Structure 1
Amino acid sequence: MTESFVPPPYPYERLGELKAIGDRLEGGAIDLSIGTPCDSPPPEVIAALAAAGRAEGYPPSIGTKALRDEAAAWISRRLGATVDADAEVAACVGTKEFVASVPLYLRLRTPAKDTVLYPAISYPTYEMGAILSGQRPLAYQHLDEIADADAARALCVWVNSPSNPTGEVSELAEAAAWGRDRGIPVLSDECYAEFSYSGAPSTILRAGTAGVLALHSLSKRDNFAGARIGFYAGDAELVHYLREVRKHAGLMVPGPVQHAATVALADDEHVERQRERYWRRMLRLCQVLAAVGLPAKMPDGAFYLWLQAPDGDAWAACRMLAERTGIVASPGEFYGPASTDYLRVAAVAPDDRIELAARRVGLA
């Protein structure tokens, strides 16, 4: 008899003990566990969201033409790649739902395949998407180390650059070539592309659209996480297939959100300011962490500090950090068994909250 699926505890709901420790300090806990933006979207984006006359009817599941055109223009302007807005771009209801659901839809398209490949240290929803679709999740350290037998069963392979949680920036053209050589769709999660510090933002689409999809979010770029909107772009056949399936599933970004997203994508200045904020906050957090014996290096991308626990016990390091500073961090096990001795600190609190942590460890 097949056992029924029991959902595991949601990772960030396991942090109650750490939050309680931080709350014992005057001023309370400083939650840097979840990568949720704390800054406001641009005023013009909020104004567009509130504009009347865009909520009466059903919005297009694939995204309005204005949204898709602006997304394609942004990819060209900021990432240096060309896509066809009409055939190679579509909206999604936040990128998390796309990550979680796309393995199921691809399995319907290619039922002979049963494996989802994903990085060994990564966003947990890559693995969960495979599990929820009844497939085999298989973590890899390096693409070249994936066995031929596993590649033959692969429905898709996830790559992520800049990486959550490590901040590592990868060579995406190599991933595109690896997938094309084996006929495996490469799904490139590029939600942190705008927050690249070691070089210009990039995309797998620079290597062409055949056999690849790039996934982008306005949650991080535009501090628009609560609006739930992203988009995917790439291989025209894959995009068309997913568009049609997702229409039947009723997956639609609300009309006012699509309009506001179009406004947000057209403006780069606010993103430049946000990148500077994250860099400055991470620099300050490095000083705070060093003061309690947890040295961290600045990342090449994203807005996370990824550091090793001194004694290999990430939960103990997180408890000590909460006791000394009030900071609530995420233990590395949330991102896979390969990183149980690491912890992640997200630079997502306002400056005054980070300064509170600094004062707690004696930094002026």
Structure 2
Amino acid sequence: MNPLKSPANSDFKLPPYPYDRLEEIKHIAEEKFGEYVDLSVGTPVDPPPSFVPHLLATSGAERGYPASIGSLPFRKSAAGWMSERFDVEVDPTHIAATVGTKEFVASLPGYLHLLNPHRDVVLYPEVSYPTYKMGAVLSGLKHCAVPVAKNGELLFDQLPDWAVEGALLLWINYPSNPTGSTDGIEPAVKWAKEHGALLVSDECYVEFVWSGSANSVLQYASEGVLALHSLSKRSNLAGLRVGFYAGDPDIVHFISEVRKHAGFMVPGPVQLVAAEALSEYSHVEVQRRRYFERLEILQGAFSEAGFKLHLPQGGFYLWFEGGDLGFKDGFEVARYLAETAGVIVSPGEFYGDASSEYVRVAVVAPTDLVSLVASRLSAQGH
């Protein structure tokens, strides 16, 4: 008998991968325009720093197995970046490498449950990156979305008792994907401490804060807290898969030991590139200018087309609903935009049931294509 078809396994069904659900919408754009501009997935398209090809070709670090925790130069560079960027001092021994950050998000709940089997609930904002919830699902744990106010405040007092009592892990995202909100770090730190949950702040968009100064959760606490960082967005290195986590030394040590057994390793040449990228900021400034220009272009164009939206506090996404224009949900908005502007956007349902009326627009296409989309959108408003 095939064990995958046994009754014991029959209740578990993976949901469709969110972005696989966009094929129908892509066909709509292709039929009208012959092609489409994809602003659905937040994948970088701009050039990486100029030093990347040379370092990858000449490092010599590909010969041996890299340390799972990350090389000391990489971790020192990460510590130096956090010191300069956030004025927080983190010992390099309290930092460890990740193979990108999505795999860490998806696997962390199961590893933490080994450490604390009496807690089995993963919490995350009700409008957020879908992998926070999926990490709980893949680990066989319970999950509960924390209600979010219009201003981005997490409404912990609305959580059910079972979620509070069983809280193992609380995710926050700064700035928020998809909303761009930069609020809520300090209340989350306080709540997690009071209720004995590990707080992990996913800070992969922290270099793209537009309103006020950029912050890290490690400015508020280190015990019972982790900060998660990625080079995918800040340095256009999504294809190299490298990031790091830092914070509570006991948690960092435990997780890094588990990951060592599991064989998670960032390739040596990639770590060399990451160390250099974290110590060099001019390429980040260039990317900041690119994203903000595109945000302004599309915010203006969507406004001309009749949508109500504002520039985000942070991140490189526009987040808005179409109800005022008569659209019943985000999928309907996405179909309309594919047909009228040849652009693919993400329906808000991907980021939680509470956001089904919204769409998310990632300004990740080259500026000439963003401008093309903008011209088509602007024409809809006249």
- Contact kept? 1:21, 1:29, Cα under 8 Å: no
Matches within 5 A, 1:1-364: 2=8, 3-26=10-33, 28-86=35-93, 88-141=94-147, 142-310=155-323, 311-361=327-377
Aligned AA for 2:125? P
C-alpha separation in 1, matches of 2:281 and 2:213:
14
- Contact kept? 1:312, 1:342, Cα under 8 Å: no
The 3-state SS of whatever aligns with 2:58 is coil
Q: How high is the TM-score relative to the length of structure 2?
A: 0.92
Q: CA deviation at 1:27?
A: 6.0
C-alpha separation in 2, matches of 1:46 and 1:220:
18
Q: CA deviation at 1:362?
A: 5.3
Q: CA deviation at 1:219?
A: 0.5
The 3-state SS of whatever aligns with 1:215 is strand
C-alpha separation in 1, matches of 2:34 and 2:374:
13
Q: CA deviation at 1:199?
A: 1.2
Q: CA deviation at 1:58?
A: 0.2
**Does 45-54 or 241-250 show the bigger shift?**
45-54
- Contact kept? 1:292, 1:324, Cα under 8 Å: no
C-alpha separation in 2, matches of 1:136 and 1:128:
10
Q: Which runs of 5+ in 2 are unaligned?
A: 1-6, 148-154
C-alpha separation in 1, matches of 2:234 and 2:183:
19
- Contact kept? 1:286, 1:295, Cα under 8 Å: no
Question: Identity of aligned pairs, percent?
Answer: 49
Q: CA deviation at 1:148?
A: 4.2
**Does 50-59 or 249-258 show the bigger shift?**
50-59
The 3-state SS of whatever aligns with 2:287 is helix
C-alpha separation in 1, matches of 2:281 and 2:156:
34
Q: CA deviation at 1:125?
A: 0.2
C-alpha separation in 1, matches of 2:277 and 2:59:
18
Q: Which runs of 5+ in 1 are unaligned?
A: none
Say what the alpha-carbon RMSD is for the aligned residues.
Answer: 1.4
Aligned AA for 1:226? G
C-alpha separation in 1, matches of 2:232 and 2:157:
32
